[in-house]
Amino acid sequence: MTKRDLLLAATLAAVATMGGNLAQAAQDGKDKCYGIAKAGANDCANATGTHSCAGQAKTDNDGNDWKYVAKGTCEEMGGKLTAAAKK
């Protein structure tokens, strides 16, 4: 037997012992979790665009009116990074 064969034999043994439990666990999970919808994906103004109530009242005249400033949590984390950013 080569080293690779030994490795494969050990892998095979490991796989064989995991068998039944996993399949059973997967089945249990399926029963309980039917019908999960991604949060926010099933409301009125959904992401598929079949409804668009969210957009009904918004007008958009000019696309060039935004400032390139990110005001999210990047700033909170960003301070730690300035040194590491090598661009």
Partner 1 sequence: MAELQQLQARFAAALLAPGGDPGRLFRGAPDLMARRFALYRGNLTANWERALANAYPVIRALVGEAFFRALAREYGRAVPLTEGDLNRFGQLLAGFLDHFPPVADYPWLPDLARLEWGLHQAHDAPDTPHLTPQTLAALGIAGLDGLRLALHGACTLVESPWDVLGIRQAHAPSGAPWPEDLAHTSRILVCRPRWRAEVMPLTAGELAALRAIDRGETLGEALEQGGDADPDFDPTQAVPRWLGAGAFASVPNSQPNREIPHERDAAS
* Coil, strand or helix at 66: coil
Residue 62 carries which DSSP code? -
Determine, following the binding rule CB under 8 A, whether residue 42 of this chain makes contact with partner 1: no
Determine, following the binding rule CB under 8 A, whether residue 41 of this chain makes contact with partner 1: yes
Determine, following the binding rule CB under 8 A, whether residue 44 of this chain makes contact with partner 1: no
**Residues forming the site for partner 1 (CB under 8 A):** 4-5, 7-16, 18-19, 22-23, 26, 29-30, 33-34, 36, 38, 40-41, 45-49, 52, 54-64, 66, 68-74, 76-78, 80-81, 84-85, 87
